[in-house]
Amino acid sequence: MSLLNTLLDFIGNLGLFTLRAARRAFLPPIEWFMIWQQIGEIGWRSLPLVLSSGFAVGLVLTLHTRSTLIRFGAGSMIPAVQSLSFFNEIGPLVAALLVAGRVGAGIGAELAGMRVNEEIDAVEVLSLDSFKLLVIPRIIACILALPILTVFMDVAGIAGGFLAERSASHISLHLYLNRAFALVSWATFIPPTLKTAVFGFIIALVSSWFGYNATDGSQGVGRAATNSVVVSSLLIILTDVILVKAIFFLFPDTAI
């Protein structure tokens, strides 16, 4: 019963936090400097992780699928499988989970540290809105950065796939790209990429909530970082199920 109470309490508080974010996001002043700074922190600094991971996942994916597809006489489909896998699911989901790990923990720990070091109180004491100054810019930055990072993830994944395929079959880049993009349409690229904006919102919101409401000193900072990653990753995966169904409903061709 107490677990259920804790869960309901969490959902209720996170809901109120979300409403507060939605209400404050459009009120002036817009913290452009903080938003820009967070885009750099969240987007730019995540880029090496996303590119290297995307390249490695792309390479491994081709190594795994190659033998199966060749066994069924579909060796020429390898690039298309690679690109569709990345654009539809692997790129968005892996990019979101990587960012949840790097940025979610960072936001959770940073805001919790600010709470513990009384920086958030100091913001309030100066009559500044700590929520607008610290939470809203992180949410906006995550929403903007995730789709862009996903595109880089997709590109790196296809590059990794090409390298694996090139080393096995000596395929040219031109032919690989032709085959990779033969089945790709806007409907298979835009909606899955844009759904990561929702993942970005989840990462920033959940991590900010844990950090902003942290208690218990340094222990609280560690707990906020861990909970931010665990809960935002879980919510991303659960939300992905709903969003994939929604995309299939809105773009039936992609469900075939």
Q: How far apart are CA 139 and CA 146, in angstroms?
A: 11
| Residue 46 DSSP one-character state | G
Q: Is residue 127 within the footprint of other proteins (CB under 8 A)? A: yes
Cβ-based neighbours of 138, under 8 Å, separated by 6 or more: 38, 42, 107, 204, 207, 208
3 binds other proteins (CB under 8 A): no
Query: Checking phi first, is residue 214 left (phi over 0); if not, alpha (psi -120 to 50) or beta?
Result: beta
Asked whether the beta carbons of 137 and 33 are under 8 A apart, the reply is no
Give CA torsion, residues 61, 151, 26, 124, to 10 deg. 70
Query: Which pair of tokens denotes residue 229?
Result: 């990653």
By CB under 8 A, residue 28 contacts other proteins: no
Task: Name which position in 35, 60, 69, 124 contacts other proteins (CB under 8 A).
Answer: 124
Interface with other proteins, residue 60, by CB under 8 A: no
With CB under 8 A as the contact rule, the residue among 21, 84, 100, 114 that binds other proteins is 114
Name the one range near other proteins by CB under 8 A: 46-54, 60-68, 82-90, 119-127: 119-127
Q: How far is the CB of 45 from other proteins (least distance, A)?
A: 14
CA–CA separation, 38 and 140 (whole Å): 9
Q: How far is CA 96 from the centre of its chain?
A: 2
119: contact with other proteins by CB under 8 A: yes
**Residue 69 or 119 with smaller CB distance to other proteins:** 119
The reply to whether 35 sits near other proteins by the rule CB under 8 A is no
Q: Using the rule CB under 8 A, which residue among 128, 159, 183, 197 binds other proteins?
A: 128
Is residue 204 involved in binding other proteins (CB under 8 A)?
Answer: no
> Contact positions toward other proteins, by CB under 8 A?
29, 34, 37, 113-114, 117-119, 121-128
